[in-house]
Amino acid sequence: MNFYTDDKTIIACSTGTQSNTAIAVLRLSGFKNLIDLQKFFSFDLSKTINRKSHLTNIIFEDKIFDNGLLVFFPEGGSYTGENVLELSIHGNQLNIQRILELFVNHGDCRSAAPGEFTYRALKNKKLSLSQVEGLDMLLNANSSLMLSQGLDILQGDLHAQYLALYDAYLKLKAAVEISIDFSEDVGVEETQKLFQDSFAKFFKLISSLKTRTEGNISSLLSPEIVLVGQTNAGKSSLFNILLKHDRSIVSNIAGTTRDYVSEVIHIDGTNFKLVDTAGIRESSDVIENIGIDRAMNILSRSFYKILIVNPYETNAQYLAKFTDVDFDFLVVSHSDKSDFDSQVSTVDFSKIKTKNIAKANFNSLEGGSIGPLTILGPMGPLMDSGSIGPDSKTAGPIEPNSKNLGPIEPDFAKTGPIEPVEKSVSPMKNEKEGSADSKNSAQILKSGSIEPSSKNPAPIEPKLEKSSSNSQSGPIGPGPVGPHPNSEKVAPIGPKNENQSGPTGPIEPVLKSHIIKKFDISTANNPILLERHRDVINKIYSKSIEFSSNINEIDDVAILSSEVNILGHSLTELIGIVSPDDVLNSIFANFCIGK
């Protein structure tokens, strides 16, 4: 803004000028005497009671412009520190503009610049710089976190902590001044103790603030939920479902979305920016490639990352593009197709890192459906093949004798689960008892590792059953076994049957609950959001650490005073200017110098 230095009366509508409202508030500030405005009011301004509402007509040259209330705030007791008059009038935009023009044209006023009332409050020391920043955050917040912190900086807990830090600095500064001017009266040991105690209190307060600046908060100020995936994965459909209206174009033609589309959605008191990105694929189209590049850039900075995969059109080469991304949710689409499960089993998801996995279909804007999905991956580490048990020559390979072997599962009904073998127990195949499928064999599998018998080193193979199906599992060896290795949650998101638990059903509430849960966890320590505050706090903390390590080595009080002043320079960036009078007041308030 342009900082005006004149002392003219300024006027503006404080309640917005975008649409008609029941009531609008006009604010005038900077006039010398209230009585100078008498020509605009039917009420006798000499009878005005400070901070009390008075009913009046707004008039000029015997013409009534409106009927409303006026409230007078005298100089020193107003928002700006100047004489302020607030008028509550009818909120029709034509009426607001007409009355503003009346005062500008006939009242020696000018229209206020954006933020000028607050600038005058800062200039007149009614607000500190940090409070102005808190007010800005309060007025422009897009989440309950920013709203609360803006109020905290303006007049709440955070503002109180800043004031406490300021007060601790004054005491630290005062202790140094006492060491210089009054050490003989107070005593060397007493002045040293006073200084050390003052610094300890200051350091405790700055350390507490420092903990609230740790971590990356850039994605919390305007949190983005980004949907990525290949063309025809269902991103635009999911985008519309979360918005609850058709915003993105949905088509069977690949590459419909060539640039990102964004809208704001409101979840539990926080505004999130929902972004539908261009489908990611190899393309020779220059414009489409620009959209794909933008999609990857947005993904890298987003708060919540959702990968949508169409198992019918994906491949390992495509999924390899995302190996460095930590996704919050992997959604495998088209789950309504009859061969979905068998199709999913052909896709290698092992390189995708995600916290949640689910299958979904997007058949209706009313919600589609989402449910559990156990994605299979390699057994153990992300390797193509390997052996079960210790990495030694005695351990047998995980390989079948033929390609047509059954699923990688023990027959629990006959053998019990495969578990490690104790050293004192025979290997998996017991010569006296017969095969590993016997009851005795099932009972002895208690501890140790699965290794081939020294007398019969054949590979471990499951027993074939006529009714066995390998549509969703494969032979022992390279191939899918067990839950997805890079998912933090082993259990699926929702039930497949009554014996399972977890949310399932419409997509929108399930995803939104996961999104707000992450946001709540990310903001649990109430991080300081203003970047300037974070930078200054870290600067003060670093200087305090350096000062603390050198404090015992400084014998010259003048150098000590200089070091404390350096701390003060950084502190003034956070909360305002420290004046010598403040230091003197602190000294005489705490110590009986004249005694």
- Contacts for 457 with CB less than 8 Å, ≥ 6 apart: 396
CA-nearest of 110, 103, 104, 100 to 39 is: 103
Residue 105 known to bind ligand: no
Residue 308 known to bind ligand: no
Amino acid identity of residue 507, one-letter, is I
Residue 44 known to bind ligand: no
Residue 225 known to bind ligand: no
Q: Which residue has the tokens 């897009």?
A: 142
Helix (H/G/I), strand (E/B), else coil: 6: coil
Backbone angles phi, psi at 354, to 5 degrees: -150, 155
Structure tokens at 556: 């010259």
The C-alpha angle 117, 118, 124, rounded to 5 degrees, equals 95
Residue 512 known to bind ligand: no
Residue 396 known to bind ligand: no
CA-nearest of 243, 230, 238, 314 to 272 is: 243
Q: Hey, CA dihedral for 149, 153, 157, 162, is it positive or negative?
A: positive
Cβ-based burial of 182 (10 A; exposed 0-12, middle 13-18, buried ≥19):
middle
- Contacts for 334 with CB less than 8 Å, ≥ 6 apart: 234, 310, 311, 312, 340, 361
Residue 549 known to bind ligand: no
Quote the CA–CA distance of 292 and 279 in Å, as a whole number.
Answer: 7
DSSP letter, residue 477: S
Residue 358 known to bind ligand: no
Residue 251 known to bind ligand: yes
Amino acid identity of residue 39, one-letter, is K
Q: Strand 21-29 vs strand 84-91: parallel, antiparallel, or unpaired?
A: antiparallel
Residue 235 known to bind ligand: yes
Residue 86 known to bind ligand: yes
**Length of the chain counted residue by residue:** 595
- Max intra-chain CA distance, the chain: 119
CA-nearest of 263, 321, 313, 320 to 292 is: 321
Residue 257 known to bind ligand: yes
Helix (H/G/I), strand (E/B), else coil: 207: helix
Residue 233 known to bind ligand: yes
Residue 113 known to bind ligand: no
End-to-end CA distance of the chain: 52
Quote the CA–CA distance of 439 and 6 in Å, as a whole number.
Answer: 98
CA-nearest of 80, 70, 24, 31 to 50 is: 70
Decide: 179 and 195 in contact? Cβ < 8 Å: yes
Residue 232 known to bind ligand: yes
Q: Which residue has the tokens 């080193």?
A: 457
Q: Strand 270-276 vs strand 261-267: parallel, antiparallel, or unpaired?
A: antiparallel
Residue 458 known to bind ligand: no
Residue 468 known to bind ligand: no
Quote the CA–CA distance of 55 and 263 in Å, as a whole number.
Answer: 44
Helix (H/G/I), strand (E/B), else coil: 58: strand
Quote the CA–CA distance of 394 and 453 in Å, as a whole number.
Answer: 9
Residue 24 known to bind ligand: no
Cβ-based burial of 265 (10 A; exposed 0-12, middle 13-18, buried ≥19):
middle
CB atoms < 10 A from the CB of 394, how many? 11
Amino acid identity of residue 326, one-letter, is D
Decide: 143 and 303 in contact? Cβ < 8 Å: no
Residue 595 known to bind ligand: yes
CA-nearest of 144, 161, 131 to 220 is: 144
Annotated binding site: 27, 86, 126, 232-237, 251-257, 276-279, 595
Binding-site members for (6S)-5-formyl-5,6,7,8-tetrahydrofolate are 27, 86, 126, 595
Q: Binding site for Mg(2+), residues?
A: 236, 257
Binding residues for K(+), by number, are: 232, 251, 253, 256
Binding-site sequence positions for GTP: 232-237, 251-257, 276-279
